[in-house]
Structure 1
Amino acid sequence: MTSDAEVPVRAAGCVLWRRAPVGGLEICLVHRPKYDDWSHPKGKLKPGEDTLAAALREVHEETGHDCAPGARLPTVRYRANGRPKEVSYWAAEATAGEFTPNSEVDRVRWLSPAAARARLTQQRDRELLDALHAALR
């Protein structure tokens, strides 16, 4: 029997992108004041929620944007607060929306892939940029 401490916390998110006004791509990063970090939009699944539905919901809640999901990206696994966490990711193109600061996310930034790589707090989030690049080729 597996203890609750070893059952992974399941979450989902997207590497949100849009076409830059002058060519190329821009990546949307969110700043979470609780952790003072920059990451891709993501969050925990609600009971019974499908991972893709959760990813799209979290993008909307955290960035104010709707998006069109694309390729499935690697699932990221790590430990958070002593428990295993498993985050399913998709590439997603922003379609419409506008950011409004909230209690979870106080800022978003649309950055070039190189600037996003430099701004991201965690290495595992940088690796998702490589996966996005490969998926969009």
Structure 2
Amino acid sequence: MTGERRDPVRAAGCVLWRPALSGHGIDIALVHRPKYDDWSHPKGKRKRSESAEACALREVMEETGQSCELGPRLPTVRYTVDGRPKEVEYWVGRALGGAFVPSREVDRLLWLPPSAARRRLTQPRDRDLLDAAVTTSLR
């Protein structure tokens, strides 16, 4: 059955936030991936035998330079990439500190208020995820 694999690609990530530097409200972290020229939440594929939670923490660190604390679970996002199903498990993640270093995978990091982050996100599914995080978890 070579080429017929239909097991979903499993991934995990976070809607990453921090208190706004202005002292009012929160900021959301968005990453820019030059390969796709898109803005999204930090996420990535799970390694073999890695838990979704460990993957989310690792991907946030790799893509943003931030350590984080996982908060409430968010809806799992399902879509297809190159004909193969993909499932991404998400959490709300509170940034605890760190420093961003650009890489080939992620070349920019922006911290924006939720309304501006929503406008900047490329995919509607990521806007839906941000809405879910803001309405259920970040009040």
Q: Mark yes or no: TM-score above 0.5.
A: yes
C-alpha distance in 1, partners of 2:83/2:120? 25
C-alpha distance in 2, partners of 1:65/1:136? 18
C-alpha distance in 2, partners of 1:122/1:94? 23
C-alpha distance in 1, partners of 2:85/2:13? 17
For normalisation by structure 1, the TM-score amounts to 0.96
C-alpha distance in 2, partners of 1:43/1:4? 23
**Which AA in structure 2 matches 1:21?**
L
Cα deviation digits, residues 36-86 of structure 1 (max 9, x gap): 000000000000000000000000000000001100000000001110000
* Secondary structure at 2:137 match in 1: helix
Q: How does 1:118-137 map to 2 (within 5 A)?
A: 118-133=119-134, 134-137=136-139
Q: Which residue of 2 aligns with 1:16?
A: 16
Q: Which residue of 2 aligns with 1:102?
A: 103
Cα-Cα RMSD: 1.3
Q: Which residue of 2 aligns with 1:68?
A: 69
Which sections of structure 2, spanning at least 5 residues, go unmatched? none
Equivalent pairs counted in the alignment come to: 136
C-alpha distance in 1, partners of 2:57/2:132? 18
Which sections of structure 1, spanning at least 5 residues, go unmatched? none
Which portions of structure 1, spanning 4 or more consecutive aligned residues, are displaced by more than 3 angstroms? none
Q: Percent identity?
A: 64
For normalisation by structure 2, the TM-score amounts to 0.94
* Secondary structure at 1:125 match in 2: helix
Note the C-alpha offset of 1:103: 1.2
Q: How does 1:49-68 map to 2 (within 5 A)?
A: 49-68=50-69
* Secondary structure at 1:73 match in 2: strand
C-alpha distance in 2, partners of 1:21/1:97? 15
Cα deviation digits, residues 71-105 of structure 1 (max 9, x gap): 00000000011100000000000001010001100
